[in-house]
Amino acid sequence: MFAPWWATTRQVNSPSRSALAKRGASAYKSDQARVPTVLVVDDDAEWQKYATLTLGQDYPVLSSSSGEDALRIARNARPDVIILDVTMAGGMDGFTVFCELRKNPDTAHIKVLMLTEVNRATKLRLEAGAMEKYFGDGPQAFLEKPINPDRLRQAVTTVLGLVSSQKEY
């Protein structure tokens, strides 16, 4: 039995507008008070904590350790971007979660950054190409573990359209 979606989420440090402006989020005008939300999905508790603390300085962050739970959170909380680990123990893997997100009209618009180990990057990029063939837009980018805090923040900021775009990180 799964815990309710609200029991597995965590709100971390909602940043001030001045903090966002310093990080390149000035594209959000002052009359648009909504701050983008990030969902971190990873079964590695240490990495999930690292990403949550790193991104929580700039964005409200929700977290999940399973694909099934991530889908519930995405439907209910509608985050702006999801950082999604490809390989998760038990249950759904990241590619299955991605495909389910794209099938649902309520979540199809959410930007996704796929997270993986460095030694799997080549294979995953090929699979991402296959996903584009069947589901339209593939993930916005792949993030390779380990990733330093500045690079993680830059990837999220870029995907949110707050700075000029890059395809790989």
Report the CATH number at residue 102: 3.40.50.2300
Residue entry with tokens 């990403």? 51
Rounded average pLDDT over 59-63: 97
* DSSP assignment string, 11-78: ---PPPHHHHHHTTGGGS-TT--PPP-EEEE-S-HHHHHHHHHHHTTTS-EEEESSHHHHHHHHHHH-
pLDDT (tens digit, 9 = 90+) per residue, 109-161? 999 998 887 555 555 554 555 555 555 566 777 778 888 999 999 999 999 98
Residue 26 domain-assigned? no
Task: Give the distance from CA 156 to its chain's centroid.
Answer: 8
Residue 164 domain-assigned? no
Residue 47 domain-assigned? yes
Rounded average pLDDT over 59-68: 96
User: Using CA atoms, how far apart are residues 70 and 68, in angstroms rounded to an integer?
Assistant: 5
| Number of independent structural domains in the chain | 1
**Euclidean distance between the first and the last CA atom of the chain, given in angstroms as a whole number:** 37
pTM (2 d.p.): 0.71
Residue 14 domain-assigned? no
Residue 18 domain-assigned? no
Residue 80 domain-assigned? yes
Residue 82 domain-assigned? yes
Residue 4 domain-assigned? no
pLDDT (tens digit, 9 = 90+) per residue, 48-58? 999 999 999 99
pLDDT of residue 91 exceeding 60, the answer is: yes
Nearest one of 110, 153, 117, 160 to 135, comparing CA atoms: 110
